[in-house]
Structure 1
Amino acid sequence: MNRRNFLQNIAIAPALGLSVETGAIIKAKRLKIGDTIGLVCPAAPAFNKEGVQVVVESMEALGFKVKLGKNIWKRYGYLAGTDEDRAADLNDMFADTDVSGIVCVHGGWGCARLLPLLNYDVIKKNPKVIVGYSDVTALLLGIHAKTGLVTFHGPVGSSTWNEFSVNYFKSVLMNAEKVKYENPKSKGDNLTQVDDRITTINKGSSRGKLVGGNLTVLCHILGSDYVPDFKNAILFCEDVEEAPYRIDRMLNHLKLCGAFDKMNGFVFGKCTKCEPGSGSYGSLTLEDLWEDHLKPTKKPAFAGAMIGHIANKFTMPVGLEAEINADMGIIQFLEAAVL
């Protein structure tokens, strides 16, 4: 390629949804009022009709129309139908030209079982927003790894759609903003801020492609073809109800796999109910684990971001270029996540 063509490609790359620095990525079109959102259950079943109706009404309150997956009411033990049923709903939603975005009703377990059954050619030819968190991490990482599509670690349909989460959802997915993520700063009646504090592990700033999601789910698909490369990545993680020794084991797993050597920076969100329990005298704490596993990397890292099993939630793009400031606990998009 000559210099002139190279410069032309750089100029048109953003319009095509390509990232010059990280290789080819695909971006979905932004969501807009009146679009149809497909609701799917890729893991746990829809436990009751009222719960799904609340999700439908939440989507409608955002200005969307709703289409339910054909198999959304099926049940196979702790799964929402067979793997083939659940994969078919996802493949159908991507193929359906009337559907602009896909929201997972909830997580649970089962998304990783679908990875070999998804039609990645169809997904790549019909890029659209897909959003969820927790077990949905497997889909977000797998789809990005196989297609380059920017996916979104954010609210599931059954999440609390409060003002905080809705504003970030809209900023990222509807307004196509280069969003700056920063934890709320509120002391309330206290002398200093108590909730949603940032812990700086290693000072500094770094840039890279956002890659991550639920720590447990991520670790359980490591070594497969469904995990994006960690080279020059900003790795972000969150979890829930995992004892410190389990978080220790999983961070060590990432370290042994070379993720910490390859990454440019690290962000841990919230680890909800992950404190040492009763009878855990002498347990390591999460802060100890940051010192053991992340401090030695000497790469910018912080913990406490609004990512995880929490009510107030960021919508994090998987595959997008961003910059972190570990001193301030800031995540800044370097480009819009949708077209």
Structure 2
Amino acid sequence: MDRRRFIGGTALTAALLPLIGMQGAAAAPRGRLLPPALNKGDTVGLVSPSSASSERLSLQLAREAMEALGLVVKTGEHYDARYGHLAGTDAERAGDLNAMFADKQVKAIVCVRGGSGAARLLPLLDYERIRANPKVLLGYSDITALHSAIQARTGLVTFHGQIGAGSWNRFNADQFERLFFKRELMNYQNVMDSKDELVPRRNRTLTLRGGVARGELIGGNLTVLTALAGSSYLPDFTGKILFLEDVEEAPYRIDRMFTTLKLMGALDKIAGFIFGECTDCKPGDGYGSLTLDQIFDDHILPLKIPAYRGAMIGHIREQFIVPVGGKVEMDADAGSFRLLEPVFSGV
């Protein structure tokens, strides 16, 4: 996964002043902020804040999926642009996000895809505008950078889940309908299917340490989250339930990133831990590798908090839509977590 770099320079800053305004000096969030509920027939904005789509078909599929869910689609001005591997320049991509939050017609924002590059936008987002116009933001993987920064700067609850161009299979569409349209207080428990196995193997959870914990959810993609270490775009971890996932990262890198979370003091502050899937996280050649089990034993067990792994979160075909900032109760023995309060205003 590409590591993110911020673009600086006085010339660029001067050119972007109308876009940036005063959000670079945004204060700490003034409490949790809920987006308005979503209804069929509402307008959803499609944006590309990270990598460009390699094929036009992906953009078409994203539009068709939103329409099939009963929504009207409005696309960002640069959602189909390309600047290197990115979907447009930083100013273009940030401008599309700021414009969608300001647009009264748009009730939700769905990211077409992840990839890399969202972190480059964080100094360019208008957080005061976002706070004044709260709305649903949906995406995962690289979109973790947006979830984290928006949570840190505004307190807005956003949603870690399927991207526009991803698979809208029956499970994912059902998640969307139940959470956004029916406003259910979701219970997130893996769907297991034994098929022809004597005991179920698919979608299994594994308790690392039993117990129950309550708190607000924080997290997302491990690589993207730890890349924000030392910045002002990470929310407070105190008392939070940390959920994580990753893809195509060797175990030694996973260990290094957990070490970063430990050294920055984040792990010692959390009340509970949920790990989703680490897809294609295989050790490389050489003298061997720590296993994921050993990494969790080293970094999570000493915390003495409820923890489990295997939740349907991550780069997988069927995945939960998780409200970042939502208040939940997790049960590490059952391998589940549930919403304690609505995540939409007026509900």
TM-score (normalizing by structure 2): 0.89
Give the counterpart of 1:311 among 312, 317, 332.
Answer: 317
Q: What letter matches 2:95 in structure 1?
A: A
Does the alignment pair 1:265 with 2:272? Answer: yes
1:288 aligns to what? 294
Whole-Å Cα distance in 1 between the matches of residues 65 and 281 of structure 2? Answer: 30
Partner of 1:331: 337
Structure 1 position 222, deviation (Å): 1.6
Q: How does 1:126-137 map to 2 (within 5 A)?
A: 126-137=133-144
Deviation string, structure 1 residues 104-142 (Cα, Å, up to 9, x no partner): 000111100000000111111110000100000000110
Deviation at 1:49, TM superposition (A): 2.1
1:256 Cα deviation after fit:
1.0
1:178 matched to 2:165: no
Say whether 1:45 aligns with 2:45: no
User: What is the aligned partner in structure 2 of residue 13 from structure 1?
Assistant: none
Structure 2 contact 211–333 (Cα < 8 Å) conserved: yes
Give the match's secondary structure for 1:173.
helix
- Partner residue of 1:205? 212
The aligned amino acid for 1:28 is P
Measure how far apart 1:281 and its partner are.
5.2
Alignment check: 8 A CA contact 1:43 1:80 kept: yes
Instruction: Give the conservation status (yes or no) of the 8 Å contact 1:172–1:338.
Output: no
Summarize the alignment of residues 184-195 of structure 1 with structure 2, pairs less than 5 Å apart.
184-195=191-202
Q: How far apart, in 1, do the equivalents of 2:289 and 2:269 lie?
A: 29
Q: Which whole-Å CA distance do the structure 1 matches of 2:332 and 2:183 have between them?
A: 24
Counterpart of 2:183, as a letter, is: A
CA contact 1:131–1:155 (8 Å) conserved in 2: yes
How far the C-alpha of 1:280 sits from its partner, in A, is 4.9
Q: Whole-Å Cα distance in 1 between the matches of residues 60 and 170 of structure 2?
A: 20
1:336 partner letter: P
- The size of the alignment, in residue pairs, is 317
Taking the TM superposition and a 5 Å limit, the aligned residue runs for 1:1-339 are 24-277=31-284, 279-280=285-286, 282-339=288-345
1:297 positional shift: 0.7
Q: 2 CA distance for matches of 1:289 and 1:262? A: 19
SS at match of 2:91: helix
TM-superposition CA deviations, 1:209-237 (whole Å, max 9, x none)? 10000000000002211111000000000
What is the letter of the counterpart of residue 150 of structure 1? Answer: V
Over residues 35-93 of structure 1, what are the superposed CA-to-partner deviations in whole Å (9 max), with x where a residue is unaligned?
01100000111323222111111000000000010012221101111100000000000
Quote the Cα distance in structure 1 between the aligned partners of 2:295 and 2:252. 9
Q: Which amino acid aligns with 2:104?
A: T
Tell me the distance in 1 between the aligned counterparts of 2:30 and 2:97.
Answer: 26
Ranges in structure 2 where 5+ consecutive residues have no aligned partner? 1-28
Secondary structure of the structure 2 residue equivalent to 1:86: helix
Aligned identity (percent) is 51
> For 1:134 and 1:194, how far apart are their aligned partners in 2?
25
Paired with 2:45 and 2:308, the residues of 1 have a C-alpha distance of 35
